[in-house]
Amino acid sequence: MTSKSWIERDRASRLQSRYTFPEVLERGNGTLVYDTDGREYLDFVSGQVCAVAGHAHPKYADAIAKQAHTLIQRGSAFTDTCQIQLAEKVAQMCPGDLNKSYFACTGSESNEAALRMAKLITGRHEVAALVRGYHGLTAGSFGITGLGGVFREGYGPMQPGAVFLPAPYVYRCPFKGCDQDGDSCAMTCLEHGLDTLRRTSSGRPAAVFVEVVQSAGGVIVLPPEWLREVRRLCDEWGALLVIDEAQTGFGRTGKMFAFEHSGVMPDILTLSKSLGGGVPVSAVVVRDGLAAELEAKGYYQSSSHTGDPLLSAAALANLMIIEEEGLVENARKVGELLHRGLEQLRKEYDIVGDVRGLGLFLGFEIVESKETRTAASELAETVSAHCQRDGLLIGHVPGAVSENIIRILPPLTTTASEAERALEILGSALAQASSQAG
């Protein structure tokens, strides 16, 4: 059956809730995925940024099959051997005293649980988060998501208590005329944010939630200096620093965790996509002292699916693959190659305005020209469509929130030759979009 007929069935039976590409995917292998018309694509978005060990990795698939024949589910009042081993593995891979985990399914859920922890520990309800930050679409996680438009219109009031600080988006400084270089610009941004916090809230939040690299918001890397100052302020306020590493966790940025680039330790770490490697499993990892406090206060959190054996076995296999195959180091090396290649494309094409990111978490802005920096969303769509036609999936969906920004997030197993092939396809897409731009 062709993609076209599958899409007709999709439209007839599935509630359409966001843009859906006309190609229908049916299988994958490593960095490659295939549609129902038999076309092959390099998947440079890792599914929904989850398939960090690539698609259909044999060890991952075998672990799932084996566990499916053993025990898939248990009551939430029991624990099981897979969940225990996963909790131990996560503690071993996390630095410092981040040693105790609660498991859920999605990234949104992990942030809901983190919010409940922060409120119970501090007895406060206000939370600081960032403009352009994305933490999920359930009520609490969405309440701290700094995105507007289609996300908000029509859904009524948000959960109260969130204060949004401006993201240190240096290429497009929200404070026009700030005219400072990278780090000082980011610190000025933080000062403005703190002023907002003081004037619109008690000034003493329960927690500050951040992504070290904002993804949906446009691949904005929080400068280490900015993060260190926020860590210091959290200590001063008695607030918890919650770092959401749904996408950056387990190696994508070339270090095991993105917070390690700054040396800043979170109090609470939320993990999802890259933890499960494709199956829905998420975790909230807390420091030992905090875990003791939560347990003493009777922290209550549960779900029909918390650390299910099937999901835990899959996550465990995924983490073993990351370690055994040296994927963190591969992300660093292949990331450098891709970053250099993208920089080269930036020099060649006036419509590439900025290239940024860490490891295999990269992004670039499509602009009308380097001089004006005007965001060119339609041109970004052209680039993305050309890439897709030529067999490369990149992170740009028509009508997406990050409009003119293209994200590059391939599996951590990506080889140098796959990266070079992707750069070739991108180069030809940029050439075509540039000629369209005139």
Instruction: Give just the sign of the alpha carbon dihedral 67, 291, 246, 410.
Output: negative
Please state, in angstroms and rounded to a whole number, the distance separating the CA atoms of residues 272 and 281: 6
Q: Which is nearer to ligand PLP, 134 or 250 (CB)?
A: 134
Site track for ligand PLP across 269-288, x = CB under 6 A: ---x----------------
Q: Which is nearer to ligand PLP, 41 or 361 (CB)?
A: 361
With contacts defined by CB under 6 A, name the span among 92-100, 240-248, 258-266, 359-367 that binds ligand PLP.
240-248
For the CB of residue 81, give the shortest distance to ligand PLP in the complex, in Å.
Answer: 25
Among 215, 312, 318, 382, binds ligand PLP (CB under 6 A): 215
Q: Strand 268-271 vs strand 240-244: parallel, antiparallel, or unpaired? A: parallel
Q: Which is nearer to ligand PLP, 135 or 332 (CB)?
A: 135
For the CB of residue 210, give the shortest distance to ligand PLP in the complex, in Å.
Answer: 10
Q: Does 246 bind ligand PLP (CB under 6 A)?
A: yes
Please give the structure tokens belonging to residue 51.
Answer: 């398939």
In the region spanning residues 345 to 364, those forming contacts with ligand PLP, defined by CB under 6 A, are none
Q: Which is nearer to ligand PLP, 215 or 413 (CB)?
A: 215
With contacts defined by CB under 6 A, name the span among 25-33, 241-249, 340-348, 415-423 that binds ligand PLP.
241-249
Closest CA to 88 of 104, 74, 100, 105: 100
Task: Evaluate whether 104 touches 283 at the Cβ level (below 8 Å).
Answer: yes
With contacts defined by CB under 6 A, name the span among 128-136, 200-208, 288-296, 302-310 that binds ligand PLP.
128-136
With contacts defined by CB under 6 A, name the span among 28-36, 88-96, 129-137, 376-384 that binds ligand PLP.
129-137
Q: Does 134 bind ligand PLP (CB under 6 A)?
A: yes
Q: Which is nearer to ligand PLP, 136 or 395 (CB)?
A: 136
Instruction: Give just the sign of the alpha carbon dihedral 359, 365, 370, 374.
Output: negative
Q: Does 108 bind ligand PLP (CB under 6 A)?
A: yes
Phi, psi (degrees; rounded to nearest 5) at 193: -60, -45
Tokens 């996390």, located at residue? 94
142: Cβ contacts below 8 Å, ≥ 6 apart: 108, 135, 136, 151, 158, 159
Q: Does 135 bind ligand PLP (CB under 6 A)?
A: yes
The size of the interface with ligand PLP (CB under 6 A), counted in residues, is: 13
For the CB of residue 117, give the shortest distance to ligand PLP in the complex, in Å.
Answer: 16
Q: Which is nearer to ligand PLP, 49 or 367 (CB)?
A: 49
For the CB of residue 92, give the shortest distance to ligand PLP in the complex, in Å.
Answer: 23
Q: Does 211 bind ligand PLP (CB under 6 A)?
A: yes
CA–chain centroid gap for 361, Å, is 9
Task: Evaluate whether 220 touches 132 at the Cβ level (below 8 Å).
Answer: yes
For the CB of residue 241, give the shortest distance to ligand PLP in the complex, in Å.
Answer: 15
For the CB of residue 292, give the shortest distance to ligand PLP in the complex, in Å.
Answer: 27
Q: Does 247 bind ligand PLP (CB under 6 A)?
A: yes
Among 28, 47, 54, 136, binds ligand PLP (CB under 6 A): 136
For the CB of residue 107, give the shortest distance to ligand PLP in the complex, in Å.
Answer: 2
Long-range interactions of 182-190: CB distance < 8 A, separation 24+:
182/223, 183/223, 183/225, 183/226, 186/222, 186/223, 186/225, 186/226, 187/225, 187/226, 187/229, 189/165, 189/226, 190/165, 190/226, 190/229, 190/230
Please state, in angstroms and rounded to a whole number, the distance separating the CA atoms of residues 332 and 255: 8
Closest CA to 84 of 322, 312, 321, 323: 312
With contacts defined by CB under 6 A, name the span among 23-31, 92-100, 134-142, 165-173 that binds ligand PLP.
134-142
Q: Which is nearer to ligand PLP, 211 or 381 (CB)?
A: 211
Q: Does 106 bind ligand PLP (CB under 6 A)?
A: yes
Please state, in angstroms and rounded to a whole number, the distance separating the CA atoms of residues 410 and 361: 8
With contacts defined by CB under 6 A, name the span among 103-111, 117-125, 174-182, 358-366 that binds ligand PLP.
103-111
Among 28, 30, 54, 107, binds ligand PLP (CB under 6 A): 107
Task: Evaluate whether 332 touches 417 at the Cβ level (below 8 Å).
Answer: no
With contacts defined by CB under 6 A, name the span among 165-173, 188-196, 210-218, 340-348 that binds ligand PLP.
210-218
Binding site for ligand PLP (CB under 6 A): 106-108, 134-136, 211, 215-216, 244, 246-247, 272
